[in-house]
Amino acid sequence: MSLILPLLPLLAVAGGAIVVLLLDAFWRRPSKNHLAFATLAFLAAAAAAAVRLWDAGAEAFDGALRLDRPALLFTLILILAASFTVLLAMRWMAQQNAAFGEFYGLLLLSLSGLLIMVSTRDLLVVFLGLEVFSVSAYALTGLKRNDERSEEAAAKYFLIGSFAAAFMVFGLAMLFGAAGSFDIGILLGSGNAAGLPAFTLVGLGLVITGLAFKIALVPFHMWQPDVYQGAPTPVSGYFVVAPKTAGFLVLLRLVLPIGRGSSGGDAIHYFLYAVAALTMLVGNLGALRQKNLKRMFAYSSIAHAGYVLIAVLALDARGLAFYLASYLFLGIGAFAALAAMSRPDREFGELDDFAGIGFRYPWIGSIFSIVLLAMAGFPPLSGFLAKFYVFSAAVRAGLTPLVFIGVLTSLISVAYYLRVIGTMYMREPEQPVDIDVENPAVLLVLFLCLYGILQLGVFPGNILQVIRQAMAGLF
Amino acid sequence: MNMPLLSVLIFVPLAGAVLLIFLPRDRKDILYGVAGAASLAALGASFLLFTRFNGASADLQFVERVSWLGGGIQYHVGVDGISLMLILLTTLLLPIAIFSSWSSVKDRIKEYLFFMLLLETGILGVFCSINVFLFYVFWEAMLIPMYFLIGIWGGRRRVYATTKFVLVTMFGSLLMLVAIFVLAAQYQKASGTASFNLFDFYGMSLPPQLQLWLFLAFALAFAIKVPMVPLHTWLPDAHVEAPTAGSVILAAILLKMGAYGFLRFALPLFPDAVQKLLPALAALSIIGIIYGGLMALVQKDIKSLVAYSSVSHMGLIMLAIFALNVESVEGAVFQMLNHGLSTGMLFLMVGVLYERAHTRTIADFGGLSKVMPVFAAFFLVAILSSLGLPGLNGFIGEFLCFYGIFAAHSVWAILAVSTVILAAAYLLWMYQRVMHGPLVQDKIVTFPDMNAREIALVVPIVILMVWMGLFPRTFLKKMDATVTHYIQAIKGQEKMFIMKTEGAGNDPRKDSGALGRCFYTQPSTAEAVPQTRFGAPSAAPSAVSAR
């Protein structure tokens, strides 16, 4: 039992993946809803197991898997993201002629990879998790088999992803050569980077670069807009949230023990400094130019990654967790609105399609507007508080120039988010679009996101406390 | 006295807005009934506030303080003599603005009223907040309803105007946000505890160079809002495109938030920097007075004429604030009320005219006074109030302003007096062209005069104008103590800085300066109220108890 218990969340997800795949093979029905419900049940079981482990924490495989509190917190965030994705996909996939049973299995499999990533301090295991995620992610991207764009996106994602994996493996080899271990604690010693051999530094740089590819930090972001635009909309929502959430925890775990003050630590610090500035600028300026909303949100998710990177630089674990928790509702909420903007065999993603939507579909319009306003950082919504915590920690850490770039680029972001709201409420459509409003699951997701945004923005007390409790275990 | 009056005041409109969501959208009467009731309830609350406010005390009153997010972020509200006036103005004008839309806003009434009430909550929150974080939340949140009000119900170029309004305003306030972060970080470094309490920040002594930067960030945000030349370019666009009620609120209330910000934040927080930059700020104000007046003189559109007159009038208010003596600051606050009433009424009148003529171009009118005598009379009252006729409110305010400015710098006063001459010129000339002369268009004859609803909307304003002109003490006595204390504190602070040696003392409380000392003496009742009311003691130990 003591071996099984720590593995329960992971087992529920990975085992669930296999069960759902088999279920699809042996119990074929045209509607795949039974698979969706099975998936949700497995996700709920995994979440329950994670909550159960909260107080004690757990280890397995000689410490290769460590379910400490940060790991469990991020596990819960990731499970929530996956559950939302399932709800979004239920009707949408059928509507878009992409009702493939393997979707749910792949989703669970990719989630299990991310869960592995967040619950370890061993870089080789991180890599293992990342690859489990990536391989299923390539397949998920290409799931709309009758859509060329989806296929192209999958191919592109696969190529770039393999490239990034190569970076990481090379870096890992160097790290192992230098220290004889993959454990972050052993690799980076007791926070004294002065003693780090050059080998280790180069290895770290390569590993961070590989990670940066996966979480799409500039200049390693090129693939992202194409992939997110091409992937099925619910999957894109999952992609903007889940892999970044997991990747940033890994990045924080890497950067925390290095600290500053030594030449090695400073080199990594300034490297990430430049990357953060570039990411915010390129993400926001890129989004400003987009006419397609899926692409716009792809760029905006790059921009948000830049803000999270500030939290990494400020070594602000709580701010990072709060930002990612808030971004869960924002990212999923945005793509839920996009998923709602569809009817059989047709999706509406161009800016012009949104003209007049606000008054034609008041609930979708108003919740989407609130999501957009929260992304732009208007108080009293969660996006504001997230940025507030990150920026104020950054000022305390002496990163004021970066905060300047941060606020000025958020001003740019206000321009493109407001453009969408303006289109929805202040423009008459040339040709009003008719969308399929009979999608209760998507509406449910929208309302849950609305709830999350308001709860985190106005009364985040309990969640802040959980985050504080969890992230204290990171040191 | 245990009712949390300020919270009721702030959140009654919000409650009304939430209620509106669930009402049927085609029942105009019910929608207006709820919105009107919510805004009138807020008016009633603010009237209670006014009568119960102790004018002899300079302290914050009606203080409520509840811990909110931790880390020094509290729900902390209170009023003094200055914010009291602006709250009164807000709650008075909101119901008027709401009911002025009865016939001019034809569709999407539910959303319209929803945003109006949301806006009221935002504005009242700004004027009540003592916690800087809370202030910022309201300050930014208020932009959202305004964005929609202009963008949905505005004129032809509304989307451009409203986007410009939001982006320009946010540019300033985001830089202010950075300055707030720096302030909070400095405070934490110096005292070891986290706080966003404005009065804690007052007590800090910051290095002059840092003060300068922080002041510039705050001043930029507020100067955009006022607006001070050359940051005023968003204003004519927003005003001309906004619906009538939007213009009324924009001119009468939102602009005051900038001046209020200077009074409450920028000046007392950074006395050193103010001392250095005062001439430049005064110069900008004077430029604003003259430039706004000259621009108003050449406008072809009545609405943009009134908009530019606001630039000019706000210039005078800012100059009076920068003169920093009791008379000038009292005059400035009083003049804020006057400007709110007179400009608000002018925009209402323009709205009345626009509903009939569907044009606001001066050249399209002429001889209106024969067709619409009641309208002509009320319009004249608004104009006379605006240009400061003795016996009406504008005169008292301008007199106090000039008196104070003259005492500070006679040259400033001489230049500033041009506002009176210019105002007389552009307002009366406009009145003459619109109201007198031959009828230029045949259809003017068909215009009905003001109806009972429209008259009922402006009558309270006119009564107040006369009242304030004849019995200004009603209002002045409520703010005497606050302003006197304020000026003493600021002057004391300046002296402190002249005598202070560089880098003396890092503990903000030890070297808190006169302003900090004075402001720290909050009444014990104010502290007791939240505790008895909410049971829980406030999260961070306040500076009061530390002394």
Residue-wise pLDDT for B7-24, tens only, equals 999 999 999 999 999 999
Which of A52-56, A244-248, B178-182 shows the lowest mean pLDDT across its residues?
Answer: A52-56
- Give me the percent of chain B exceeding a pLDDT of 70: 90
Chain B nearest-CA residue for A461: B69
Contact A391 B178 (CB under 8 A): yes
pLDDT of B546 higher than 70: no
Average pLDDT over residues A177-189: 81
The distance of A395 to chain B (nearest Cα, Å) reads 6
Say which residues have a Cβ less than 8 Å from residue B305's Cβ, sequence separation at least 6: B296, B299, B362, B426, B430
How would DSSP label each residue in B461-503? HHHHHHHHHH-THHHHHHHHHHHHHHHHHHHHHHHHHHHPPTT
A3-31 per-position pLDDT tens digit: 788 889 999 999 999 999 999 989 888 88
Residue B96 pLDDT > 60, yes or no? yes
Segment B407-424 shows an average pLDDT of 91
Closest residue in B to A412 (Cα–Cα): B167
pLDDT digits (tens, 9 = 90+) for B173-223: 999 999 999 999 999 998 888 899 998 898 888 898 999 999 999 999 999
The DSSP symbol for B64 reads E
Mutate to test the interface with B, among A354, A426, A454 (most CBs of B within 10 A): A426
Q: In chain B, whose CA is at the least distance from the CA of A415?
A: B167
Q: What angle do CA A289, A247, A254 make, to 5 degrees?
A: 125
Pair B202, B269: CB distance under 8 Å: yes
Give the pLDDT band of residue A191 (cuts 50, 70, 90): very low
Whether chain A has a CB inside 8 Å of the CB on B18: the answer is: no
With beta carbons less than 8 A apart as the criterion, state whether A424 and A363 touch.
Answer: no
Which string of b and e fits A229-251 if b means at least 16 CB within 10 Å?
bbbbbbbbbbbbbbbbbbbbbbb
Q: Is B182 on the interface with A (CB under 8 A)?
A: yes
Q: For residues B419 and B394, give the distance between their C-alpha atoms in angstroms, rounded to a whole number.
A: 12
Instruction: Give buried/exposed letters for A89-111 (b at 16+ CB in 10 A, else e).
Output: bbbbbbbbebbbbbbbbbbbbbb
> Peptide bond before B537: cis, by omega within 30 degrees of 0?
no
* The residue to which tokens 């002025």 are assigned: B100
- A410, A414, A426: residue with CB nearest B152: A426
Which of A373, A403, A461 lies closest to B181 in CB terms?
A: A403
Closest CA in chain A for residue B171? A411
CA B237, CA B261: separation in Å to the nearest integer? 23
Residue B312: Cβ within 10 Å count: 24
Three-class SS of residue A30?
Answer: coil
| B510 backbone dihedrals φ, ψ, rounded to 5° | -65, -40
What was the pLDDT predicted at B414? 92
| CA B163/CA B150 separation, integer angstroms | 9
Minimal Cβ distance to B141: which of A380, A407, A464? A380
Of residues A378, A379, A425, nearest to B148 (C-beta): A425
Q: Is B184 part of the contact surface with chain A (CB cutoff 8 Å)?
A: yes
Min distance B275 CA to chain A CA atoms (Å): 26
Nearest residue in A to B107, CA atom = A359
Given pLDDT bands bounded at 50, 70 and 90, which one contains residue B514? very low
Of B151, B163, B177, the CB nearest to A425: B151
Q: How far is B238 from chain A (nearest CA, A)?
A: 15
- Residues of chain A with C-beta less than 8 angstroms from the C-beta of B146: none
Structure tokens at A283: 């993400």
| Rounded CA separation A382/A375 (Å) | 8
Model confidence at B547, pLDDT cuts 50, 70, 90, reads very low
Q: Is A227 left (phi over 0), alpha (psi -120 to 50) or beta?
A: alpha
Q: Does B207 touch chain A (CB under 8 A)?
A: no
Nearest Cα residue to A120 out of A79, A63, A181, A180: A63
Burial class of residue B280 in the structure, from the number of CB atoms within 10 Å of its CB (0-12 exposed, 13-18 middle, 19+ buried): exposed
CB pairs under 8 A between A and B: 76
Confidence of residue B2 (pLDDT cuts 50, 70, 90): low
